Chains A and B, each alone.
Chain A
Amino acid sequence: MIPGLSGDLVTQVFLLVAAGFMLLAVAMFYRAIVGPTTQDRVLAVNVLGTNTVIVLALLAVGLGEQSLVDIALVYALLNFLMAVAISKFTVERGDVL
């Protein structure tokens, strides 16, 4: 486990908060499925990706797997690239950034 951390309280809290973030991510699927415009869906998937990054960072502490932070870093990069690329290539003129 992580050295110098007092007790199981922080681990329990991190796992519970990760479960809460998962619930919010599932709720965000409503906007990704229903949302009328393409941009609504891209926005919902972007927020979902941010939630995934946070859950990975929380599980890095909660499960004691510190390599999950590296996965979260790569996921954040790919998430940003996904949002910008879809915004750029779904409109005709394409100079969104």
Chain B
Amino acid sequence: MIETVRTGGIVLLVLAGLFFTLVSTTGVLRLPDVYSRAHTASQADTLGAGLTLAGVALALGWGTTTVKTVLLLVFVFATNPTAAHAISRAAHEEGIEPWTADDDRTDEELYEAARARVPDGGQTGGNTTTADEPGEQEETG
């Protein structure tokens, strides 16, 4: 009886992890700009990895390997959002504008705009570019 519950729990956890990783992959492939992609990569992918590693830890039973798997789970939970935060902050300092709903530019055009505005690789920084950003959007929209 308890073995049946355990097997069912393992299968359920692993399949839920696969589902959330599918959601994350769809988001990274289909969302419009780098910030929303970083969002789905940090949240849905972390949840999928956590659920799958919980299933693995449940399947391994008691032992040293289970301790390592739980350590891996905690580590993935801590580092995956941190890495996504670092990546999106690097994108902000590169001068890439966030995509908005009333903006019909694609991500390639936003990237080209950032490259044209900061020709020498971000010497002027992100603060001056974000300061005049709302005025530009009101003119285009």
Contacts and interface: CB of A to CB of B under 8 A. Distances in A.
Interface of A: 2-7, 9-10, 13-14, 17, 20-21, 24, 27-28, 30-31, 35-40, 42-44, 46-47, 50-51, 53-54, 57-58, 60-61, 66, 69-70, 72-73, 76-77, 79-80, 83-84, 87-88, 90-93, 96-97
Given A53-B72, A57-B69, A47 B61 contact: no
B75 to A, nearest CB: 6
The B contact surface, by secondary structure, is: helix
Nearest to A11: B59
| Of B41, B56, B82, B108, most A-chain CB atoms within 10 Å | B56
B25 interface: yes
Contact of B122 (A5, A17, A50, A93): A93
Contacts, number: 173
Contact of A88 (B37, B80, B84, B90): B90
Contact of B34 (A6, A40, A92): A40
A13 B56 CA distance: 11
A53 to B, nearest CB: 7
Contacts of B68: 69-70, 73
A62 to B, nearest CB: 9
A80 B28 CA distance: 18
Nearest to A25: B25
A96 B93 CA distance: 8
Contacts of A10: 7, 10-11, 59
Given A39-B34, A97-B89, 18 more contacts: A2-B59, A6-B6, A10-B59, A24-B22, A37-B91, A39-B88, A44-B28, A47-B28, A50-B76, A53-B72, A54-B49, A57-B72, A60-B56, A69-B65, A69-B68, A80-B82, A87-B89, A97-B82
